[in-house]
Amino acid sequence: MKPHALRLLRQVLGVGLLLGALAGPVRAEDKDSGAAPADKVVAHSLTTNDKLNIVVVQEPGLTLVSRINARGTVNLTFVGEVHVAGLTVKEAQKVIEDAYRDGRYLRNPQVIINVEDYAPREVFISGEVRSPGKYTLPIEQLMTIDELVLKAGGFTDSAKGSAVKVTRKLDDGSTTVIGPVDVESIIKGRKGSTTPLVLQPGDSVVVDQRIF
Protein backbone atom coordinates (compact mmCIF):
# COMPACT_ATOMS: atom_id res chain seq x y z
CA MET A 1 0.00 0.00 0.00
CA LYS A 2 1.30 3.49 -0.89
CA PRO A 3 2.30 5.78 2.03
CA HIS A 4 -0.39 8.39 1.39
CA ALA A 5 -3.11 5.68 1.17
CA LEU A 6 -1.91 4.12 4.43
CA ARG A 7 -2.06 7.50 6.19
CA LEU A 8 -5.61 8.05 4.92
CA LEU A 9 -6.70 4.61 6.17
CA ARG A 10 -5.27 5.31 9.65
CA GLN A 11 -7.13 8.63 9.78
CA VAL A 12 -10.44 6.98 8.87
CA LEU A 13 -9.97 4.22 11.47
CA GLY A 14 -9.04 6.80 14.10
CA VAL A 15 -12.21 8.81 13.49
CA GLY A 16 -14.31 5.63 13.70
CA LEU A 17 -12.77 4.62 17.02
CA LEU A 18 -13.27 8.11 18.42
CA LEU A 19 -16.95 8.21 17.45
CA GLY A 20 -17.46 4.77 18.95
CA ALA A 21 -15.90 5.84 22.23
CA LEU A 22 -18.03 8.98 22.39
CA ALA A 23 -21.23 7.06 21.67
CA GLY A 24 -20.47 4.46 24.32
CA PRO A 25 -21.67 0.85 24.34
CA VAL A 26 -25.14 0.03 23.11
CA ARG A 27 -27.16 -1.27 26.03
CA ALA A 28 -30.14 -3.63 25.82
CA GLU A 29 -32.29 -1.13 27.68
CA ASP A 30 -31.52 1.53 25.05
CA LYS A 31 -32.96 -0.72 22.37
CA ASP A 32 -36.17 -1.34 24.30
CA SER A 33 -36.53 2.02 26.02
CA GLY A 34 -39.96 2.46 27.54
CA ALA A 35 -40.96 -1.19 27.31
CA ALA A 36 -42.51 -2.91 30.27
CA PRO A 37 -40.51 -5.69 31.96
CA ALA A 38 -40.52 -8.81 29.79
CA ASP A 39 -41.63 -11.04 32.66
CA LYS A 40 -44.80 -8.97 33.15
CA VAL A 41 -46.06 -8.48 29.59
CA VAL A 42 -47.97 -11.35 28.04
CA ALA A 43 -49.88 -11.85 24.82
CA HIS A 44 -53.57 -11.40 25.50
CA SER A 45 -55.65 -14.58 25.25
CA LEU A 46 -59.10 -14.10 23.77
CA THR A 47 -62.04 -15.13 25.89
CA THR A 48 -65.83 -15.32 25.89
CA ASN A 49 -67.53 -11.93 25.33
CA ASP A 50 -64.45 -10.25 23.85
CA LYS A 51 -65.74 -8.07 20.99
CA LEU A 52 -63.69 -8.57 17.84
CA ASN A 53 -63.41 -6.59 14.62
CA ILE A 54 -62.40 -9.18 12.03
CA VAL A 55 -61.19 -7.81 8.69
CA VAL A 56 -60.31 -9.93 5.67
CA VAL A 57 -58.02 -7.75 3.57
CA GLN A 58 -59.52 -6.81 0.15
CA GLU A 59 -62.72 -8.69 1.05
CA PRO A 60 -65.04 -6.02 2.54
CA GLY A 61 -68.02 -8.33 2.42
CA LEU A 62 -66.34 -10.63 4.95
CA THR A 63 -65.66 -7.93 7.56
CA LEU A 64 -67.34 -8.88 10.84
CA VAL A 65 -67.81 -7.36 14.28
CA SER A 66 -68.78 -10.03 16.77
CA ARG A 67 -68.42 -11.09 20.38
CA ILE A 68 -66.98 -14.51 21.14
CA ASN A 69 -69.93 -16.65 22.19
CA ALA A 70 -70.25 -19.03 25.13
CA ARG A 71 -68.81 -21.85 22.99
CA GLY A 72 -65.67 -19.79 22.41
CA THR A 73 -66.40 -19.28 18.71
CA VAL A 74 -67.21 -16.59 16.18
CA ASN A 75 -69.56 -17.24 13.26
CA LEU A 76 -67.86 -16.29 9.98
CA THR A 77 -69.44 -15.74 6.58
CA PHE A 78 -69.21 -18.88 4.42
CA VAL A 79 -66.98 -20.69 6.96
CA GLY A 80 -69.34 -20.93 9.94
CA GLU A 81 -68.15 -21.24 13.54
CA VAL A 82 -64.43 -21.01 14.25
CA HIS A 83 -63.06 -21.52 17.76
CA VAL A 84 -60.84 -18.63 18.90
CA ALA A 85 -61.19 -18.50 22.70
CA GLY A 86 -57.90 -19.16 24.45
CA LEU A 87 -55.88 -18.03 21.43
CA THR A 88 -53.82 -14.88 21.07
CA VAL A 89 -54.90 -12.38 18.41
CA LYS A 90 -52.09 -13.54 16.12
CA GLU A 91 -53.09 -17.21 16.57
CA ALA A 92 -56.76 -16.40 15.93
CA GLN A 93 -55.85 -14.55 12.73
CA LYS A 94 -54.02 -17.63 11.45
CA VAL A 95 -56.87 -19.99 12.42
CA ILE A 96 -59.37 -17.87 10.47
CA GLU A 97 -57.01 -17.58 7.49
CA ASP A 98 -56.64 -21.38 7.49
CA ALA A 99 -60.43 -21.79 7.67
CA TYR A 100 -60.98 -19.67 4.55
CA ARG A 101 -58.06 -21.31 2.76
CA ASP A 102 -58.97 -24.90 3.69
CA GLY A 103 -62.58 -24.28 2.74
CA ARG A 104 -61.33 -23.07 -0.67
CA TYR A 105 -63.16 -19.77 -0.33
CA LEU A 106 -59.96 -17.71 -0.60
CA ARG A 107 -56.59 -18.65 -2.05
CA ASN A 108 -54.36 -16.46 0.11
CA PRO A 109 -56.46 -14.77 2.83
CA GLN A 110 -54.99 -12.13 5.13
CA VAL A 111 -56.93 -11.53 8.34
CA ILE A 112 -56.55 -8.64 10.77
CA ILE A 113 -58.24 -8.78 14.18
CA ASN A 114 -58.68 -5.88 16.58
CA VAL A 115 -60.23 -6.29 20.02
CA GLU A 116 -62.82 -3.51 20.25
CA ASP A 117 -63.99 -4.35 23.76
CA TYR A 118 -62.44 -6.64 26.35
CA ALA A 119 -64.70 -8.82 28.48
CA PRO A 120 -64.15 -8.30 32.22
CA ARG A 121 -61.38 -10.50 33.58
CA GLU A 122 -61.97 -10.84 37.27
CA VAL A 123 -60.61 -12.80 40.20
CA PHE A 124 -62.00 -13.10 43.70
CA ILE A 125 -60.37 -13.18 47.10
CA SER A 126 -62.05 -13.99 50.37
CA GLY A 127 -61.16 -14.79 53.95
CA GLU A 128 -58.42 -13.20 56.02
CA VAL A 129 -57.41 -10.19 53.90
CA ARG A 130 -58.23 -6.59 54.73
CA SER A 131 -60.28 -5.87 51.59
CA PRO A 132 -61.83 -9.09 50.29
CA GLY A 133 -63.82 -8.92 47.07
CA LYS A 134 -63.62 -8.90 43.30
CA TYR A 135 -60.60 -7.54 41.43
CA THR A 136 -59.99 -6.95 37.72
CA LEU A 137 -56.95 -8.50 36.07
CA PRO A 138 -54.87 -6.10 33.95
CA ILE A 139 -55.04 -6.50 30.18
CA GLU A 140 -51.97 -8.15 28.63
CA GLN A 141 -50.15 -8.29 31.95
CA LEU A 142 -49.75 -10.92 34.60
CA MET A 143 -51.08 -10.71 38.14
CA THR A 144 -49.67 -13.16 40.67
CA ILE A 145 -51.29 -14.41 43.84
CA ASP A 146 -49.05 -12.33 46.10
CA GLU A 147 -49.87 -9.19 44.11
CA LEU A 148 -53.58 -9.86 44.58
CA VAL A 149 -53.14 -10.28 48.34
CA LEU A 150 -51.29 -6.97 48.52
CA LYS A 151 -53.94 -5.31 46.34
CA ALA A 152 -56.52 -6.58 48.81
CA GLY A 153 -54.73 -4.77 51.64
CA GLY A 154 -52.56 -7.65 52.81
CA PHE A 155 -53.23 -10.37 55.34
CA THR A 156 -55.09 -9.79 58.59
CA ASP A 157 -53.33 -10.62 61.85
CA SER A 158 -55.13 -13.95 62.01
CA ALA A 159 -54.48 -15.04 58.41
CA LYS A 160 -52.84 -18.34 57.59
CA GLY A 161 -50.69 -16.78 54.87
CA SER A 162 -48.57 -19.89 54.45
CA ALA A 163 -51.47 -21.97 53.11
CA VAL A 164 -53.51 -19.97 50.60
CA LYS A 165 -55.71 -21.93 48.20
CA VAL A 166 -57.03 -21.15 44.73
CA THR A 167 -60.12 -22.65 43.10
CA ARG A 168 -59.80 -22.58 39.31
CA LYS A 169 -62.36 -23.30 36.60
CA LEU A 170 -61.23 -25.70 33.89
CA ASP A 171 -62.17 -25.67 30.21
CA ASP A 172 -64.56 -28.60 30.66
CA GLY A 173 -66.55 -26.71 33.31
CA SER A 174 -65.13 -28.54 36.30
CA THR A 175 -62.98 -26.96 39.01
CA THR A 176 -59.68 -27.79 40.65
CA VAL A 177 -58.04 -26.58 43.86
CA ILE A 178 -54.45 -25.31 43.66
CA GLY A 179 -52.35 -25.08 46.78
CA PRO A 180 -51.77 -24.57 49.56
CA VAL A 181 -49.44 -21.77 48.44
CA ASP A 182 -47.06 -20.12 50.92
CA VAL A 183 -47.87 -16.55 49.89
CA GLU A 184 -46.50 -15.13 53.13
CA SER A 185 -42.98 -16.34 52.30
CA ILE A 186 -43.26 -14.96 48.76
CA ILE A 187 -44.27 -11.51 50.02
CA LYS A 188 -41.49 -11.46 52.60
CA GLY A 189 -38.95 -12.67 50.04
CA ARG A 190 -37.83 -15.59 52.11
CA LYS A 191 -35.08 -17.70 50.62
CA GLY A 192 -36.41 -20.81 48.93
CA SER A 193 -39.95 -19.49 48.50
CA THR A 194 -41.79 -20.84 45.47
CA THR A 195 -42.41 -18.94 42.22
CA PRO A 196 -45.62 -16.90 42.60
CA LEU A 197 -48.72 -18.47 41.09
CA VAL A 198 -50.03 -16.55 38.07
CA LEU A 199 -53.77 -15.96 38.34
CA GLN A 200 -56.29 -16.65 35.60
CA PRO A 201 -59.74 -15.08 35.03
CA GLY A 202 -62.33 -16.62 37.33
CA ASP A 203 -59.83 -17.76 39.98
CA SER A 204 -61.13 -17.66 43.54
CA VAL A 205 -58.48 -17.18 46.23
CA VAL A 206 -59.24 -18.20 49.80
CA VAL A 207 -57.17 -17.19 52.82
CA ASP A 208 -58.06 -19.28 55.86
CA GLN A 209 -57.81 -18.22 59.47
CA ARG A 210 -54.79 -19.35 61.41
CA ILE A 211 -55.47 -21.73 64.30
CA PHE A 212 -53.83 -20.37 67.44
Q: Does the predicted model carry a pTM greater than 0.85?
A: no
State in words which class domain 51-117 has: alpha beta
Residue 173: its pLDDT value, please? 75
Q: Are 138 and 123 in contact (CB under 8 A)?
A: no
Where are the domains positioned within the chain?
Answer: 51-117, 122-207
Q: What is the pLDDT of residues 106-132, one digit of tens each?
A: 999 999 999 999 888 899 999 999 999
Which tens digits make up the pLDDT trace of 128-155?
A: 999 999 999 987 788 999 999 999 999 9
**CATH superfamily of this structure's domain 122-207:** Outer membrane lipoprotein wza domain like (3.10.560.10)
pLDDT digits (tens, 9 = 90+) for 43-56: 678 888 999 999 99
Question: What counts of helices (H) and strands (E) characterise the chain?
Answer: 5, 10
Torsion, Cα of 152, 167, 164, 129 (10° steps): 20
Q: Where are the beta strands (DSSP E) in 23-182?
A: 51-56, 64-67, 73-76, 80-83, 111-117, 122-127, 133-136, 164-169, 175-181
24: left (phi over 0), alpha (psi -120 to 50) or beta: left
